[in-house]
Amino acid sequence: MGLFSIRRRNILPGFGLSMGYTVFYLSAIVIVPLSMIFFNTVPMGWDPFVHAVTAPRVLASYKLSFSTAFFAAVFDAVAGLLTAWVLVRYRFPGKQFLDALVDLPFALPTAVAGICFATLYSPVGWLGATLTRWNIEIINSATGIVVALVFIGFPFVVRTIQPVLEEVEQEIEEAAHCLGATRWQTFRRILLPHLFPALLTGSTLAFARGIGEYGSVIFIAGNLPMKTEIAPLMIMSKLDQFDYAGASAVALVLLLISFSMLLLLNAIQEWQQKEYR
Amino acid sequence: MGIELQNITKKFSGYTALDNISLNVASGELVALLGPSGCGKTTLLRIIAGLELPDVGKIILENKDTTNLPPREKNVGFVFQHYALFRRLTVFDNVAFGLKVLPRKDRPNRKEIGDRVEHLLKLVQMDWAIKRYPSQLSGGQRQRVALARALAVNPKVLLLDEPFSALDAKVRQELRRWLRKLHDEIHVTSIFVTHDQEEALELADRIVVINKGRIEQQGTPQEVYDHPKNAFVYNFLGNVNVFHGRIKNGKVTLGSHHVDAPDELKHAEEKASQAFVRPHEIGISRIRSSETDLTGTIQEVRLMGGQIGLNLACEGFDHPIDAEIPRDLYINLELAKGDTVFVSLNRVKVFTGDYVI
Amino acid sequence: MLKQPTPETAPIVKKRVSDPLPIQMLLIGVMLLFFIGFIFLPLGLVFAQAFQKGWAFYLESITESYALEAVKLTLTTVAIVVPLNAFFGVTAAWAITKFNFAGKAALKTLLDLPFAVSPVIAGLIFVLLVGSRTPFGSWLGEHGIKIIFSTPGIVIATLFVTFPFVVRELIPLMEAQGRDEEEAALTLGAKGWQIFAKITLPNISWGLLYGMILCGARSIGEFGAVSVVSGHIRGQTNTIPLHVEILYSEYNFAASFAVASILVFLALLTVTLKVALEKQFQKNSFHH
């Protein structure tokens, strides 16, 4: 039995055709191109590969990408939970408008977000001018990168928590209430554990997206080697020097990490389904 | 012959859904496939319609082997359990669908399609809803439309999968009678699947009892009900009291009580047996009329509409016995909880074998 | 990601246990602060910057020939990418939801793969596959076909990045709808394409449109992947976001933001359409 073999003759028509096209298109657009990373890294040999991905500049870029993506994901977890809570639980004018705007970071091209934040936080910008006076530097710093990534990751957290929060049965809360729990106890002991898998899923999505993000970051980061150079930018600059093998090596590490995040996510979701069924 | 099934076997990974099923349905007959859920009855229906393929066996519809025909060439009307009405089409377009997809040369013209759809919707009393969408109809109404849609293509046979299971009790009763009447009018060979014995007994010309992929018994409702072939059929066709006992010297021992063994078991050697008595076939009396009567105490009285249910603790029996008596009798005897009464077991049905409930 | 019904659309029968008013005010306030900092200020900034040199300059910036070329290229890309990925999405969803086969879960995971790939890597892989320095790319070059640093490269990289959008909307939708209607059509004598055109396609039309809008929005705005494969040749391989970047790096801020304002407008349009479609979708799912 092959990977996609058919268990029985199918009654509805079109299986062979649709499956054939699916596999062909998936291979042509995704699998074959992605495999190029692998085929360009393997001929390097082990030592040059290790050398390429552990060069100080590369290591610094990984560290920067991970730490900024991590802090942004944590910030998004808090801001996203709060936003989802307010949008689901409270009634106030303009709520639907704000709810719709949560998706803006999905819809707004990353380059536009990038130039907006770079301009906002520039020393003469609307926010940057004040912050500079207080000696807080956002632009050309890791903080700036975090700001951009918070924007990018925000909808992931809100949109993962919202449906779960909406499904929480009111009776559960009322029951806790009747048993004498305070609002805070109910939230911490009943709701938070219930929301936790969604919160984790949402922040993992935001984190994964943050690691690979490019467009919104490069304008605000300043791209100083060893300081504010993110991993995708490392790939870009190796590519500019036609160092294809080096670019593939850096990309391979980044890919492996992203895929493990994806697998982790699947595991979380399976665990979540088991837990609540 | 309307439908002829020969040695149908179907295995899914891990279990056998249908095990060598052969069945004949005469033209114009209305047959019920009755069995517990998971017994394979729906699979059998889907196989007849061509929605599943048997591993082994033949399906002959009106003397034509259709085993390997795709569903659209079988000319079978299928009514799905959850109706499967096309949600984006109006009632009219739903019913007209089968006519509109005919090849151009066989397709009736617009007027003919319109007339036929209108006729069918009148037949199922849904002509008032011709422009509505399925979402605007109740369950019973959707079921009628689904039926009209299946009839539109003049099917050789009509197959109904649990046609009333998704409806509430009152609508179910009503629609059941109506369907019987409709069948008497149009006389299309029909099979319906159900797990509800009442439905099968009331509606069908013939009942086929299926269990674990095999046919246990088939016959008219009367035959099947009065002469169940085995413990499963007896048990499945209604509520029963089950007594585990032993058969010996032509007598069956049930607790401290003996009854005559049925003729075919008169000379059987000693072995374990089961006796079944339906609750409404238990006699309750204030006076002892026979020495085989049991003495019992009423533990519980349940009001069940026209019937009264009694839960009796009987001397010499480990488990309580359920009885059902008419309300009038209950009032005449002035029965109450705690009273001692005499219990007669009429029509005890004895089966041997390893069937376990 | 289609949202579940929100309390405004699904009527609330009972009033929920609610937080005390001061806490509500506080939380709403904090949220508003976040929205101001991360949504409203950037949006306001785009228009303030775009119009800083006046209406005339704004109009000129968005109608000069390079800008128009960029718009044209972006529209071309969208016009190719969205139908291709929509067609694929419908086909793949049909195969996955209407049939049983081994490896279905694995296939579904593979479909989401591009979401886990950095846009820069998405560009890189096509440079590695068909760039002029690769065997395949140089062979294509000898036959006069140029992919990287030209429109086909932009299209193919965008195809990769927007690959999952339509199919991941359709799979859950079609799974929920089941196979009953298709089977019913089959027993009524319909042929394959009749079932698809008359039953399946109408049933998934809103979900399909929704996926196409998300796919289109991302195609318009994709920056990282396109940036790698485009070569930034003005008037030839510049999409709107790339044009914004070039103007910005030349310190031509007013023009850069003017062009960016087109993208903001399109993003707001996307968000509005998304909300409208979600409403439509909920209405339809109630019908089921």
Question: Which one-letter amino acid corresponds to residue C51?
Answer: F
Question: What's the confidence (pLDDT) of residue B193?
Answer: 95
The nearest alpha carbon in chain B to A9 belongs to B53
- Overall average pLDDT of the C191-195 stretch: 91
**pLDDT reading at C287 higher than 70:** no
Worst-scoring range by mean pLDDT, B40-44, B233-237, C2-6, C55-59? C2-6
Nearest to B81 by CA among B54, B124, B51, B61: B51
Query: Which residues partner with B295 through β-bridges?
Result: B342
B312: pLDDT strictly greater than 60? yes
Structure letter (DSSP) for residue A6: B
Radius of gyration of chain C from Cα atoms?
A: 23
The single-letter code of the amino acid at B113 is I
Integer Cα distance of B324 and B339 in angstroms: 16
**Are A111 and C125 within 8 A, CB to CB?**
no
Query: Which residue did the predictor score with more confidence, B182 or C16?
Result: B182
* Per-residue pLDDT, A13: 86
The DSSP symbol for C37 reads: I
Is C157 found in the same domain as C41?
A: no
Judgement on whether residues C117 and C65 belong to the same structural domain of the protein: yes
Q: Does C1 fall in a domain?
A: no
Q: How far is CA C252 from CA B77, B145, C140, C246, C265, in A?
A: 71, 67, 38, 9, 20
Domain B241-352 annotated CATH 3.40.50.300: no
Q: Which amino acid is at A60?
A: A
Same domain, C44 and C58: no
Residue C205 CB contacts under 8 Å (≥ 6 apart), including other chains: none
pLDDT score of C279: 84
**Best residue in A15, A24, A66, A112 for a mutation probing chain C (most C CBs within 10 Å):** A112
Contact B230, B262 (CB under 8 A): no
- Give the number of domains in chain C: 2
The alpha carbon of residue A12 is apart from the nearest alpha carbon of chain B, in Å, by: 8
C-alpha to C-alpha distance for B38 and B44, rounded to whole angstroms: 11
Whether A91 has a pLDDT exceeding 60, the answer reads: yes
Under the phi-then-psi rule, with left for phi > 0, alpha for psi from -120 to 50, and beta for the rest, what region is C50? alpha
Residue B324 structure tokens:
């059902």
Contact C116, A258 (CB under 8 A): yes
Do residue C150 and residue C132 come from a single domain? yes
Lowest mean per-residue pLDDT among A106-115, B111-120, B122-131, C275-284: C275-284
- Which residue in C14, C19, C27 sits closest to A184, CA to CA? C19
Instruction: Tell me what pLDDT residue C70 has.
Output: 93
Inter-chain touch C186–B80, beta carbons under 8 Å = no
**For residues A119-137, average pLDDT:** 87
Question: pLDDT by residue (tens digit) across A136-186?
Answer: 888 889 999 999 999 999 999 999 999 888 888 777 777 877 887 777 888
β-strands B30-34, B206-211 pairing: parallel
- Of B35-39, B260-264, C77-81, minimum mean pLDDT range: B260-264
Report the percent of chain A where pLDDT is more than 90: 53
Q: What is the pLDDT of residue A74?
A: 96
Whether the CB of B70 is below 8 Å from some CB of chain A: the reply is yes
Any idea what the Cα angle at residue A108 is, between residues A107 and A109, rounded to 5°?
Answer: 115
Are C119 and C173 in the same domain?
yes
**Looking at the 3D structure of chain A, how many domains does it have?**
1
Beta bridge pairs of residue B25: B3
How far is residue A199 CA from its own chain's centroid? 13
Q: Which of A83-92, C97-106, C226-235 has the lowest mean pLDDT?
A: C226-235
Contacting residues of B for C189, CB less than 8 Å apart = 72-73, 75, 98, 101-102, 153
Contact B50 A7 (CB under 8 A): no
Confidence label for B240 from pLDDT (cuts 50, 70 and 90): confident
DSSP-assigned states of every residue in B197-210? HHHHHHH-SEEEEE
Number of C-beta neighbours around residue C110 at 10 A: 18
Q: Is pLDDT larger for residue A55 or for residue B14?
A: A55
What's the CATH code of the domain at A270? 1.10.3720.10
Structural domain of residue C107, as residue ranges? 54-287
The whole-chain average pLDDT of chain B stands at 88
As a whole number, mean pLDDT of residues A250-262 equals: 89
Q: Is C188 on the interface with B (CB under 8 A)?
A: yes
Length of chain A: 277
Per CB-CB distance under 8 Å, the chain C contacts of A8 are: 100
Residue with structure tokens 């926010």? A127
The secondary structure of residue B280, as a DSSP letter, is: G
Name which of A199, A203, A198 is nearest A71 in CA terms.
A203
Query: Is residue B228 pLDDT above 80, yes or no?
Result: yes
pLDDT value at residue A276 = 58
Q: Is residue A210 part of a domain?
A: yes
Q: In this structure, are C164 and C234 located in the same domain?
A: yes
**Spatial distance between the Cα atoms of A143 and B330, rounded to a whole number of angstroms:** 86
Q: Do the Cβ atoms of A194 and A84 come closer than 8 Å?
A: no
- Closest to B39 in 3D by CA, of B176, B209, B204, B180: B209
Q: Which of A211, A209, A208 is nearest to A106 (CA)?
A: A209
Interface test with A, best of B45, B53, B78, B80 (most A CBs within 10 A): B53
- Please give, rounded to a whole number of angstroms, the shortest distance from the CA of C200 to a CA of chain A: 12
The contacts of residue C218 (CB under 8 Å, 6+ apart) are C161, C162, C165
Q: What angle do CA C214, C218, C221 make, to 5 degrees?
A: 140
Q: Is residue C54 left, alpha or beta, with left meaning phi > 0 and alpha meaning psi from -120 to 50?
A: left
Question: B196 CB contacts (<8 Å, ≥6 apart)?
Answer: B164, B165
Of A218, A214, A238, A213, give the one whose Cα is nearest residue A57: A238
Per-residue pLDDT, A8: 47
Query: What's the pLDDT at C257?
Result: 95
Q: What are phi and psi of B164, to 5 degrees?
A: -115, 5
Confirm whether C13 is domain-assigned. Answer: no
What is the pLDDT at residue C34?
Answer: 95
DSSP state of B322: E
Q: Three-class SS string for C143-179?
A: CCCCCCCCHHHHHHHHHHHCCHHHHHHHHHHHHHHCC
Answer whether residue A1 is part of any domain: no
Closest CA to B31 of B152, B167, B160, B117: B160
**B34-63 pLDDT, tens per residue?**
999 888 899 999 999 999 889 999 999 999
Contact between B71 and C183 using a beta-carbon 8 Å cutoff: yes
- pLDDT at residue A236 greater than cutoff 80: yes
Assess contact for B269 and B346: CB atoms under 8 A: no
pLDDT band, very low/low/confident/very high, at B2 (cuts 50, 70, 90): confident
Please indicate, yes or no, whether residues C119 and C239 belong to a single structural domain of this protein: yes
Judge: C202–B88 Cβ closer than 8 Å, yes or no. yes
Please state whether beta strands B294-304 and B307-314 pair in parallel, antiparallel, or not at all (unpaired): antiparallel
Please report whether residue A6 resides in a domain: no
Most confident stretch, A133-137, B253-257, C257-261: C257-261
What's the CATH code, domain B3-236?
3.40.50.300
- pLDDT, position A275: 64
Note whether residue C10 is domain-resident.
Answer: no
Spell out which residues of chain A touch residue C39, defining contact as CB-CB under 8 Å: 101, 104
Single-letter amino acid, residue B110: R
Give the range of the structural domain holding residue A86, as residue numbers without chain letter.
Answer: 45-275
Cβ-Cβ contacts under 8 Å, B87 against chain C: 181, 203, 287-288
Q: Identify the band that residue B166 occupies on the pLDDT scale cut at 50, 70 and 90.
A: confident
Of A174-183, A208-217, C40-49, where does mean pLDDT reach its minimum?
A174-183
pLDDT tens digits, one per residue of C104-156: 988 998 998 998 899 999 999 999 998 888 888 888 888 888 888 889 999 99
Q: How far is C178 from chain B (nearest CA, A)?
A: 10
Of the pLDDT bands very low, low, confident and very high (cuts 50, 70, 90), residue C3 is: very low
With contact defined as beta carbons under 8 Å apart, do A113 and A148 qualify?
A: yes
The separation between CA C183 and the C-alpha centre of its own chain, rounded to angstroms, equals 33
Q: Could you tell me the residue ranges of all domains in chain B?
A: 3-236, 241-352
What's the pLDDT tens digit per position in B139-154?
A: 999 999 999 999 999 8
Q: Is pLDDT above 80 for C228?
A: yes
Smallest Cα–Cα separation from B95: which of B125, B132, B120? Answer: B120
With respect to residue A27, please indicate whether it lies within any of the assigned structural domains.
no
Nearest to A42 by CA among A30, A55, A52: A52
Q: Return the SS3 of C240.
A: helix
| Residue B110 pLDDT exceeds 90 | yes
Using 50, 70 and 90 to split pLDDT, how confident is the model at C284?
low
Distance separating alpha carbons of residues B288 and B250, to the nearest angstrom: 25
Do A151 and C98 count as a contact with CB atoms less than 8 A apart?
A: no
CATH number reported for the structural domain that contains residue C276 in this entry: 1.10.3720.10
For the entire predicted model, the pTM comes to 0.86
Within this chain, do residues C95 and C142 fall inside the same structural domain, yes or no? yes
Lay out the sheet containing B15-25: strands in order across.
B15-25, B3-12, B56-61, B64-65
Shared domain check, C70 and C30: no
Q: Say yes or no: C167 and C222 in one domain.
A: yes
For residues C161 and C130, membership in a common domain is answered with yes
* DSSP H stretches of helix in chain C: 21-35, 41-50, 54-63, 65-98, 104-111, 119-130, 135-142, 151-161, 164-177, 180-187, 192-195, 201-221, 224-230, 240-249, 253-287
Which residues from B are below 8 Å from A8, CB to CB?
A: 52-53
Predicted confidence at residue B353, as pLDDT, reads: 64
Q: Is residue A142 part of a domain?
A: yes
